[in-house]
A and B are shown apart, each in its own frame.
Chain A
Amino acid sequence: AQSVTQPDIHITVSEGASLELRCNYSYGATPYLFWYVQSPGQGLQLLLKYFSGDTLVQGIKGFEAEFKRSQSSFNLRKPSVHWSDAAEYFCAVGPNYGGATNKLIFGTGTLLAVQP
C-alpha cells in the first residue's frame, strides 16, 4: 500500500539549533517526493521537491532534503532554525511517470515549535 510516515508528531527545537524532520514512504514505483509547510491559517507552501538526479535537494528558506532510496526516506533538514520556521511540515509522495498529474499522498505532518 502507498503511504507516507512522519514518525514525529511534534518537535521542539531552540532557535539556532539544527533540525531534521523524518519522512519514510512506501510506494510501488520511484516516487516524486515533496515537502510542504503550513503556517497557522495558511495554505500549503512547497518547500522543495525531488524528481530525479542529485539526491540532495535544496529548497526555499534554507531547507534541504536528502532522498535515500535504500531507506525509503526523504528527511528534511535545516542547519539553523529561525523562530519563523514554526509551522507544520508535511511530506508527500506522488507518481513519477513523467507527467504533470500529481495525486499526492501526504504524511500526518510534524508540528515544529521553536523556542527562544
Chain B
Amino acid sequence: EPEVTQTPSHQVTQMGQEVILRCVPISNHLYFYWYRQILGQKVEFLVSFYNNEISEKSEIFDDQFSVERPDGSNFTLKIRSTKLEDSAMYFCASGSRAQNSPLHFGSGTRLTVT
C-alpha cells in the first residue's frame, strides 16, 4: 500500500537555525498538509496546500514557516529561524481528490530545538 514518507525521522537544531522537513506524499494525491504535535498535546493543523499554493493556514503558521513543492514528488516545510517552542513532531499528510477519501499521514519528523 502506498504511504507518505518523511525525512529525517529526527532532527536536532540550534535555536535560530533554519530547518527543512521533507515529505514525499502518495503519488496520485493532490492535497498536502502539515500538522504538528507538541509533546503531550494534541495534533494541530498548520497548513494545507493545493494546486501549488497554500489553501489554508492556521495562526501557528506565521512568517517563519513556509511550504514548497519544489518538484513533482516532494513537499517541504521550512522554518526560517527556529525557536525552542518549535520543538514538536511534525506530520505530513496527503489526500486524493476522491470523495470521502481520508488523509494519509507520514510517520513524522521529531524536531528538537536546543
Binding site for B on A (CB under 8 A): 32, 34, 36, 41-46, 49, 51, 90, 92, 94, 98-109
Contacts and interface: CB of A to CB of B under 8 A. Distances in A.
B107 A106 contact: no
A57 to B, nearest CB: 12
Interface residues of B, number: 31
8 contacts: A36-B105, A41-B107, A43-B91, A43-B107, A44-B43, A44-B91, A46-B104, A109-B43
A100 B97 contact: yes
A44 B105 contact: yes
B103 A43 contact: no
Interface in B59-114: 91, 93, 95-108
B44 interface: yes
B48 A103 contact: yes
Instruction: Name the residue among B33, B44, B102, B105 with the largest chain A CB count within 10 angstroms.
Output: B102
Contact of B96 (A46, A100, A104, A109): A100
B31 A100 contact: yes
Nearest to A46: B102
A103 B33 contact: yes
A105 B107 CA distance: 18
Nearest to A34: B102
Nearest to A52: B100
B56 A103 contact: yes
Contacts of B50: 101
A100 B101 contact: yes
A49 B30 CA distance: 20
Nearest to A6: B42
B7 to A, nearest CB: 13
Contact of B103 (A90, A104, A105): A104
A102 B56 CA distance: 11
A102 B95 contact: yes
A7 to B, nearest CB: 13
Contact of B31 (A44, A51, A101): A101
A40 to B, nearest CB: 11
Contacts of B41: 108
Contacts of A92: 43
